[in-house]
């Protein structure tokens, strides 16, 4: 009975040692008798106890690695500190295990040397304005170097670039001066634009006022001309009516003389203080009367 119990325990232990469950996004590097045997993918895997064993568990997820901040000297001999992060993914688990002792350390050292090489060829101002270019160069160099390790570098990002304290103070002063300069430029531009706008407004107002004055004068002249025309027409009608009435009445010379005297009387009643009637005019009126009498006697 005890033998069966021991045998059962041995069988359970062997079963536990033989059955391996690999998680998603992971692989097992399995060796047989100390030699690489296979890569076990996600799922159930059976191995032979005492002959096979799991050398390493490799994650296929994208991984990140912080590169310690490094002091780097630029082309213009300024020491700056660069903090970098690397995003990588293992594409060949067997190479990642057997081609390098420690993959993360290898990527870290390679990133440090590459950063120093790239930054050493750039000026300080260029390092601040060319982060994207530095990131691309780092990624390309690291990707080519780590390809034989079964690793792919997806991205390299520079988290921070820290210049020395004195350089930082000088940069802050320069930035403040540049901000003040921009503020003055913007203020002067705003004043210039305001002056232009005011001048344009005055010009437009003057043009509109001149046009309005011109239009008023034209309308006034047209109204006066129309009024004169209407008055003239009315006077013409009155004269025509008087002429028609006189023609219809067939007046004689005495009546004409009488009406002339009445007209002169009305003129004398006008606003003028005195009215001068030439003597020749009265003689002419008397002559007209005498001639009329003579012609009347001759007819008789």
**Predicted confidence (pLDDT) at residue 4 exceeds the cutoff of 80:** no
Out of 4-13, 89-98, 111-120, 150-159, least confident range: 4-13
- Name the more confident of 187 and 261: 187
154 and 183 together in one domain: no
CB atoms within 10 A of CB 130: 15
* Domain range for 132: 63-163
| Residue 171, domain member (yes or no) | no
pLDDT on residue 201: 87
What pLDDT does residue 284 have? 47
Separation between Cα atoms, residue 258 and residue 289, nearest integer Å: 11
Q: Mean pLDDT of all residues in the chain?
A: 80
pTM for this model (two decimals): 0.54
Shared domain for 245 and 292, answered yes or no, is no
The pLDDT of residue 250 is 58
Structural domains in the chain (count): 4
Give the per-residue pLDDT at 291: 46
Task: Classify residue 83 by burial, with Cβ atoms within 10 Å: 0-12, 13-18, 19+.
Answer: middle
Do 70 and 136 lie in one domain? The reply is: yes
Same-domain pairing of 10 and 32: yes
Same domain, 54 and 67: no
Other C-beta atoms within 10 Å of 115: how many?
21
Buried b (16+ CB within 10 A) or exposed e, 258-290: eeeeeeeeeeeeeeeeeeeeeeeeeeeeeeeee
Same domain, 81 and 119: yes
Neighbours of 97 (CB within 10 A): 22
Q: Is residue 170 part of a domain?
A: no
Higher pLDDT, 133 or 240: 133
Strands (E), 94-196: 151-162
Q: Is residue 172 part of a domain?
A: no
Mean pLDDT, residues 259-276 taken together: 53
| pLDDT tens string 28-78 | 999 988 888 999 988 888 888 888 888 889 999 999 999 889 888 888 888
Residue 82 domain-assigned (yes or no): yes
């Amino acid at each position: 009975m005890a033998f069966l119990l021991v045998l059962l325990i041995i069988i359970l232990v062997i079963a536990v040692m033989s059955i391996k469950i690999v998680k998603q996004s992971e692989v097992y590097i399995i060796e047989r008798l100390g030699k690489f045997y296979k890569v076990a993918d996600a799922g159930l895997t059976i191995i032979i106890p005492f002959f096979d064993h799991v050398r390493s568990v490799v994650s296929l997820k994208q991984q990140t690695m912080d590169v310690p901040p490094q002091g780097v000297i630029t082309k213009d001999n300024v020491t700056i500190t660069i903090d970098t992060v690397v995003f990588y993914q293992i594409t060949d688990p067997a190479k990642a295990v057997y081609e390098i002792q420690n993959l993360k350390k290898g990527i870290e050292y390679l990133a440090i040397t590459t950063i120093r090489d790239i930054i050493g060829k750039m000026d300080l101002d260029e390092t601040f304005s060319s982060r994207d270019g530095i990131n691309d160069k780092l990624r390309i160099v690291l990707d080519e170097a780590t390809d034989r390790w079964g690793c792919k570098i997806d991205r390299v990002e520079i988290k921070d670039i820290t210049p020395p304290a004195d350089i930082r103070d000088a940069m802050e002063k320069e930035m403040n001066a540049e901000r003040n300069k921009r503020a003055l430029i913007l203020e002067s531009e705003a004043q210039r634009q305001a002056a232009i706008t005011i001048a344009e407004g005055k010009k437009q107002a003057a043009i509109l006022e001149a046009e309005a004055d011109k239009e008023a004068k034209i309308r006034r002249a047209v109204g006066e001309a129309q009024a004169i025309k209407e008055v003239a027409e009315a006077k013409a009608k009155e004269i025509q009516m008087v002429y028609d009435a006189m023609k219809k009445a067939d007046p004689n010379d005495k009546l004409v003389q009488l009406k002339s005297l009445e007209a002169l009387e009305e003129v004398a009643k006008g606003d003028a203080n005195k009215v001068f009637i030439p003597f020749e005019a009265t003689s002419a009126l008397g002559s007209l009367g005498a001639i009329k009498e003579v012609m009347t006697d001759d007819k008789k």
